[in-house]
Amino acid sequence: MPAAAVVEATLQPAPAESGTAAAQGEAVHWFDLRTVPATPWKNGGGSTRELVCWPPGAGTDAFGWRVSVARIAAAGPFSAFSGVDRQIMLLDGDGVTLHGEQAELCHTLQQRWQPWSFAGEQPLNSRLIGGPSTDFNLMLRRGQWQGRMQVLHDTGTVGAMGAGLCMVLQGQWAVLGGDAARVLQPGQGLWWPEAMGARVLQPLQPLSPEVANPHPFAPDVRPALVWVDVVPVHL
């Protein structure tokens, strides 16, 4: 039996948990994007699925860091977040053009899985290139938290450095480590509120170096995982 099959046979499917309802005392919080409720935007131009907002219960003017998936269905302005650094990445759809009040500020978000950073207070308007687009978003309270998002194709270690989140984009990924062992499918993932020290899980590993049925808009056939690392700023 291939090694990947042996690993997969010992793992449990990931549970269909939703959103940020887990208690603060838990080390790892699991989610499935399909079960996370979508909150419609006030302007009717899209919706947001919040994966984590830290600290729990914080409003839009008080969170330290926040990760969400947004669906942009119509052209319109981006909400302003003063004092927040933002990173955005296209997951699905034809893409969107973001442009500011000044002509030199214009970015086309059309290539999948390529993060772009901008200041949250910067006024931006979006224009769809074709149909609706789905984006992955990271927000960091400036001066309090710093971090990055990236796409991994090999392995990643949960809780090795600080807080964070990961979500499968393509392929199947094995999460190893004691009672947490399980298999994650596209749209499933986990987040952790702090560095885990001795509780750190073994690295997440793809079950195959290539995906048999890749996403039709994926850059290639490798398994893919969006990974977010965040750490507090020590002044």
The answer to whether residues 135 and 49 belong to one domain is yes
- pLDDT at residue 2, rounded to an integer: 39
Predicted TM-score (pTM) of the model is 0.86
Give the pLDDT score at 203.
Answer: 76
Nearest to 197 by CA among 156, 232, 157, 230: 157
Quick one: 132 and 159 in the same domain?
no
Residue 54 in this model has a pLDDT that exceeds 90: yes
Distance CA 44, CA 107 (A): 23
Of 100, 124, 141, the domain-final residue: 141
* Range 12-27 average pLDDT: 51
For 78-115, write each residue's pLDDT tens digit: 888 999 999 999 999 999 999 887 767 789 999 999 99
Parent domain of 103: 36-141
- Residue 161 has a pLDDT of 79
| Domain stop point among 141, 169, 193 | 141
Domains identified in the chain, total number? 2
**Domain match, 49 and 123 both:** yes
Residues 169 and 105 in one domain: no
DSSP letter (8 states) at residue 22: S
Residues 41 and 119 placed together within one structural domain of the fold: yes
- Give the pLDDT band of residue 43 (cuts 50, 70, 90): confident
pLDDT at 204: 84
Residues 6+ apart with CB under 8 A from 42: none
Domain shared by 18 and 76, yes or no: no
Q: Are residues 54 and 76 in the same domain?
A: yes
**Measured distance CA(168)–CA(53) in Å, rounded:** 19
Residue where a domain stops, chosen among 81, 110, 141: 141
What per-residue confidence (pLDDT) applies to 7?
A: 37
Tell me, yes or no, whether 114 and 180 share the same domain: no
Q: 46 and 137 share a domain?
A: yes
175 and 135 co-located in one domain: no
Verify that 168 and 75 share a domain, yes or no. Answer: no
Taking 80 as the threshold, does the pLDDT of residue 197 lie above it? Answer: no
Same domain, 124 and 206: no
Tokens of 234: 């020590």
Model pLDDT for residues 137-166, shown as the tens digit of each residue: 999 999 999 999 999 998 888 877 789 999
CATH number, domain with residue 204: 2.60.120.10
Q: Which residue has the higher pLDDT, 48 or 16?
A: 48
